[in-house]
Amino acid sequence: MRNSIVENDLEFIINSDNIWNSLEGKNILISGASGFLPAYMVETILYLNETRFNDKTNIFAMVRNEENALKRFSNYDNRDELKFIINDVCNTIDINDEIHYIIHAASQASPKFYKKDPVGTICPNVVGTHNLLEIAREKHVKGFLFFSSGEVYGEIEGNMIPTREEYYGYVDPLDIRSSYVESKRMGETMCISWFKQYGVPAKIVRPFHTYGPGMNLNDGRVFADFVYNLIKKEDIVIKSDGKAVRAFCYLADATAGFFTVLLKGKKGEAYNVGNDKCEISIIELAKKLVNLFPEYKLRVIQEKRQDNDYLESKIVRSSPDTFKISSLGWEPHYSIEEGFKRTIKSFELEFK
């Protein structure tokens, strides 16, 4: 059974816009379906089947690890419309069913992997994108959504922040951390190429820092570490100077944005998905979270990072310009305070 925070999030998402009729009764292939961001899209569709759709929408959830997927979707183990495909997106994909939409979200998004497994970081974004674009071409899909990243902008000048979709900065292709950024850039170029040459209706989302229920608390990113500290009622430990500035977007807002682009965005274009109203430095975020829970009597502690596999970003400030997606009718709703309170409450409910 879903906890009350997730239930409320799903209701918020489906009430955020009247865009859902085009999904009713369709077949949707989602790669990396048990990942943090796409899993909420899966849950949203299942919730639509419960509350809105008479003709059920089928989800073909492509995952590499069946055990992890069954655990992530344990609340839905009796749902016939959720069909798992155990398959690495980089391998041959055989699917005989008609497919109407493809959401390609399979990717290693944690900086922990960029140094340890750069090849495994690159392949889903390039080889996997090729495989799914070819399926989209063969099946004549109605929509194809590629999950890129706000990191594709690279190191940009301060006057380009908040960053519009047409701004780009420096990326060193010989820096091992670029395995993620460069492969996401290539994935975007592939989407546009298949759109121009074959008419595949590809659209691209560039998520910025997104947090919320279900995120991996061990993926090495600071905001995940902070949530873990608060759940455990431990002091928040920062392993940097904390001066980096990021814009944080709550998962329910971001999910509504992803669907908005899939169903209302222009083909062959990219859209930032983030909350430019929630821009804050890492050290200030830590202090804010501690102050949200004064009853825990926690402190913010800074110390040197010991994890040599984690590659820190060189980006000092990152914030999206969201004018383009807002023109589709999407706006973020949740503040940092409300979003992180909901996130921590959700984890506490799960751990009871």
Supply the pLDDT for residue 221: 86
Residues 6+ apart with CB under 8 A from 17: 256, 259, 260, 264, 329, 330
The structure tokens listed for 319 are 């914030």
Instruction: Identify the CA nearest to 150 among candidates 223, 206, 110.
Output: 206
Residues of the chain with pLDDT under 50: none
Domain annotation covers residue 217: no
Domain annotation covers residue 169: yes
Look-up: residue for tokens 């509504």? Answer: 256
CA distance linking residue 256 with residue 251, whole number of Å:
9
| Number of domains present in the structure of the chain | 1
Residues 6+ apart with CB under 8 A from 341: 292
Is the full-model pTM beyond 0.85?
yes
Task: Work out whether the CA dihedral 50, 51, 53, 59 comes out positive or negative.
Answer: negative
Supply the pLDDT for residue 219: 83
Domain annotation covers residue 190: yes
Domain annotation covers residue 79: yes
Domain annotation covers residue 46: yes
The structure tokens listed for 157 are 């000048």
For 146-185, the pLDDT digits (tens) are 999 999 999 999 999 999 999 999 999 999 999 999 999 9
* Containing structural domain, residue 54: 4-212+248-277+318-335
Domain annotation covers residue 352: no
Supply the pLDDT for residue 351: 80
CA distance linking residue 5 with residue 129, whole number of Å:
33
Domain annotation covers residue 349: no
Domain annotation covers residue 125: yes
Distance of CA 272 to the CA centre of its chain: 12
CA distance linking residue 254 with residue 114, whole number of Å:
24
CATH number at residue 146: 3.40.50.720
Supply the pLDDT for residue 310: 54
Report the 10 Å Cβ neighbour count for 65: 12
Q: Are the beta carbons of 281 and 243 closer than 8 angstroms?
A: yes
> β-pairing, 202-207 with 101-104?
unpaired
